Amino acid sequence: MTSLSVSGAETSDSDQEVDVDTRALMDFYPKTPNLTNEKQLLGALQEVLEKLQSKRISPWEKKFGQVPTCDVGEQCAIRKGARIGKMCDCPRGAFCNFFLLKCL
């Protein structure tokens, strides 16, 4: 007799879990889809992808580990904690000041 009551409790728990899952799905997906919002998001995503594609590094720079050149006064390095990484090479006659992180 106790085994019946235990199995009955297990089925009611599983029913509650199914109800919670169904409710969670209904809350996550709206009943009426907002197509204009989705179109705006897709448009924004397309713009980001186009910008990323236009910022490709040339194969020559990739192959030889070259960094692009920057102008005098531009930021040439970036600091992450104690480390400093070069973003670009300064033109001839200028150097990258690692205190100001700019070409001088």
- pLDDT of 3-18, one tens digit each? 444 444 455 555 566 5
Q: Which listed CATH number (1.20.950.20, 4.10.40.30, 2.40.50.100, 3.30.450.20) goes with 58-104?
A: 4.10.40.30
Percent of the chain with pLDDT over 90: 11
Q: What is the pLDDT of residues 74-98, one digit of tens each?
A: 999 989 888 988 888 898 899 999 8
Q: SS3 of 58, please?
A: coil
In the chain, CATH 4.10.40.30 covers 58-104
Per-chain mean pLDDT for the chain: 75
Distance of CA 27 to the CA centre of its chain: 25
Tell me the pLDDT band of 33, cut-offs 50, 70 and 90: low
Residues 67, 75, 99, 57: what is their CA dihedral angle, to the nearest 10 degrees?
-20
